[in-house]
Structure 1
Amino acid sequence: MPLSLAFPNHALLASYQQALSRGWAGHEQDPDTASRMLAACRAAPDTYLLHFTHCPLPAPGMGPDADNSEPCLPHCHFWISNGDYCGELSLRWPLPGDNLPADCPGHLAWSVVPWQRGHGYACQAVRLLLPRIAHLGLPWLDMAMATRNVASWKTAEHLGATRIATYQTGAEHGHVSAYRYRLMR
């Protein structure tokens, strides 16, 4: 089955829960996170799915929800699938005329479950995303990853992104050495 990107959904929920039951928790490093996520997902699946999309990708010509009283960096999550849940891709973007906040390391982040790695799924997922976000008018996409995350920086380079910085992350990202890559649109 060809790779696809979808908003988190009930069709992939059982496969996602299976990933959690195997201890996978995306970017989280806490070993108890997957079990907490699985318990929350099983207890209230509809509510759990909603937390992924409270700031959904706007349609072309549409801005963020003006009735949203809670300030929110627009973002959305996609699940990567080959028929089964393979991982996720998240996108964050600033409002027109703004930059990403200092604590936001980039526009894009991805994570592929260990048993689905080695197939180029992160790179394929980003390529599937690009036409879907053209209307956002982002001239480039920044992505950041730990310097020790060789697979992610190779993915960024395979996409044609250029390394623009090496920096030390703050406490919110674990005080690690990181690279920032930029993919020009």
Structure 2
Amino acid sequence: MSSTEPDPHADTNLHLAGDGSQMAEHQAPIASMTAVVLAEPSLLNLAGFEEALARGWSPDPRRQQDKAYVDAELEGLRKDKAGFLTRFTSGDVVATSVSNREPQRLVLRLFWIWDGEFCGYITLRHLPGTVQLPLHVPGHVGYSIVAWKQRKGYATQALRLLLPIAAKAGFERINVICNEDNLASRRVIETAGGVLHSTGADPSDAPDMIKLSFWLATAGDA
């Protein structure tokens, strides 16, 4: 899935976790797995993100082997943690339309995926005042799980936890896109309830990249 960007002020029913960081109160009902929560990023829980960068994790799934990028992100975080957090979680990300005629601003909801420590992040993104997206943005959702937390079902749990948040933001359904050959992401989406609605090239990527596009109904459809 593609990484990062919707409304930072929408009610997400958060409460304080034991370590003082803000956590979403919803937990995924998967008894056989460790339950994760969605945590609001803050200076109180930024250390886990910093540690992940130090271990070589890239927050951009498209740049997994880009050590220079990861090192630059880590350096920027250590120089100005508050500034880095604001930049990374900003709701004022500028997205240029496909035609390059008018810039459009994406609203971003970003959460840490948390099982007692940092596991990755998940985002919900859209244009302000609507649930629509510019054509070049690859779906409403992006996520990334650190390598040492993969194969635990965390991405699926996080995607399920995002659904009621999306419903409160006005979504009846959300669009999630992955590469055709990304079997892991496809499994995550389908297990979370995704229904395939199209296969083919997408404006968000090169014409030769085949994408699978899914719809997931939110709690608003229940």
Given the two structures, how large is their TM-score scaled by the length of structure 2?
Answer: 0.70
Equivalent in 63, 75, 89 of residue 39 of structure 1: 75
Percent of pairs with identical residues: 30
One-letter amino acid of the counterpart of residue 37, structure 2: S
| Shift of residue 184, structure 1, vs aligned partner | 1.9
> What is aligned with 1:53?
89
One-letter amino acid of the counterpart of residue 171, structure 2: L
Larger RCO of the pair (alpha carbons < 8 Å, separation 6+):
2
Equivalent in 193, 203, 207 of residue 160 of structure 1: 193
Structure 1 residue 117 corresponds to structure 2 residue 153: no
> What is aligned with 2:54?
21
One-letter amino acid of the counterpart of residue 52, structure 1: F
What is the DSSP-based 3-state SS (H/G/I as helix, E as strand, rest coil) of the residue aligned with 1:10? Answer: coil
Moved more, 115-124 or 97-106: 97-106
What is the DSSP-based 3-state SS (H/G/I as helix, E as strand, rest coil) of the residue aligned with 1:11? Answer: coil
Equivalent in 99, 113, 116 of residue 132 of structure 2: 99
> What is aligned with 1:151?
184
Say how many residue pairs are matched. Answer: 171
Residues 152 and 38 (structure 1), Cα distance of their counterparts in 2 relative to 1, 3 Å cut: same
> What is aligned with 2:165?
132
One-letter amino acid of the counterpart of residue 81, structure 1: W
Moved more, 31-40 or 173-182: 173-182
Deviations 1:20-59 (A, max 9, x none): 1121112131332111110111110000000133228xxx
Consecutive unaligned residues of structure 1, counting only runs of 5 or more, are 57-69
Distance 2:62 2:54 in 1: 14
Given the two structures, how large is their TM-score scaled by the length of structure 1?
Answer: 0.83
What is the DSSP-based 3-state SS (H/G/I as helix, E as strand, rest coil) of the residue aligned with 1:138? Answer: coil
What is the RMSD computed on CA atoms of the aligned residues? 2.1
Preserved CA contact (<8 Å) 2:38 2:158: yes
One-letter amino acid of the counterpart of residue 184, structure 1: A
Residues 138 and 47 (structure 1), Cα distance of their counterparts in 2 relative to 1, 3 Å cut: same
Preserved CA contact (<8 Å) 1:52 1:76: no
> What is aligned with 1:90?
123
Deviations 1:76-97 (A, max 9, x none): 2111111211011011123445
Deviations 1:94-150 (A, max 9, x none): 344562111111111111111101111111112222223322221210011112211
Preserved CA contact (<8 Å) 2:105 2:127: no
Distance 2:130 2:166 in 1: 17
> What is aligned with 1:67?
none
What is the DSSP-based 3-state SS (H/G/I as helix, E as strand, rest coil) of the residue aligned with 2:89? Answer: coil
> What is aligned with 2:44?
11
Residues 98 and 118 (structure 1), Cα distance of their counterparts in 2 relative to 1, 3 Å cut: closer
> What is aligned with 2:24?
none
> What is aligned with 2:6?
none
Distance 1:98 1:11 in 2: 31
What is the DSSP-based 3-state SS (H/G/I as helix, E as strand, rest coil) of the residue aligned with 1:109? Answer: strand
